[in-house]
Chains A and B, each alone.
Chain A
Amino acid sequence: GDSVTQTEGLVTLTEGLPVMLNCTYQTIYSNPFLFWYVQHLNESPRLLLKSFTDNKRTEHQGFHATLHKSSSSFHLQKSSAQLSDSALYYCALIRTQVVGQLTFGRGTRLQVYA
């Protein structure tokens, strides 16, 4: 079946430093959609980014990610971390537009300190 791997369980940073959260995936389907969801404390996950196109950078709210099918990766980056970025970040995959369910990674907790 499909799988999504987020290698870091916890990333701690000082405010102002760059952020990179890793995400790799496995699927037999050639055109998956990849997503990043962010979940703040006591809230439900909120869509942050999504991509379908190989090697195209997608950006939202200062975060960006590029889907690289050659390496099956969709890493999340931001040039300068803010305190408000502290949250759980989930990378997720959907096989095609037809299939309705997401496969989530285990999540990475980002903790930004002043």
Chain B
Amino acid sequence: GALVYQYPRRTICKSGTSMRMECQAVGFQATSVAWYRQSPQKTFELIALSTVNSAIKYEQNFTQEKFPISHPNLSFSSMTVLNAYLEDRGLYLCGARMGGQDTQYFGPGTRLLVL
């Protein structure tokens, strides 16, 4: 079956530092990977959509300078949160999808705490 792994599952970083999170698709080819953030008391905000062999599209309020993403192959994507501050805390989810399919499979998320 289709599985998506994310690591780390939970991380704590000091304010102003950066942390990298990873997303791996197993059992299918993730032609597109969407990164979301679920902040406390909020729904899921789309950060960016990464499609292999295409430019990464960032949503309003999210930039490549703050959330650089790498999607080097059909099974792996990573995103870094640069200069993390309190407002960056939350659960970061990656949703991976195979080209031509409608279902997005989610990883367990990386929970970021910022001190």
A residues neighboring B (CB under 8 Å): 33, 35, 37, 43-47, 50, 52, 90, 94, 97, 100-107
Contact = CB atoms under 8 A, between A and B. Distances in A.
Contacts of B107: 44
Contacts of A97: 100-102
Interface residues of B, number: 24
Given A44-B93, A44-B108, A101 B43 contact: no
Contact of A90 (B32, B33, B44, B91): B44
A108 B18 CA distance: 33
Contacts of A106: 42-43
B103 interface: yes
A106 B33 CA distance: 21
A47 B1 CA distance: 14
Contacts of B109: 44
Given A33-B102, A94-B102, A97-B102, A104 B108 contact: no
B78 interface: no
A29 to B, nearest CB: 13
A52 B46 contact: no
Task: Name which of A45, A101, A103 has the most chain B CB atoms within 10 A of its CB.
Answer: A101
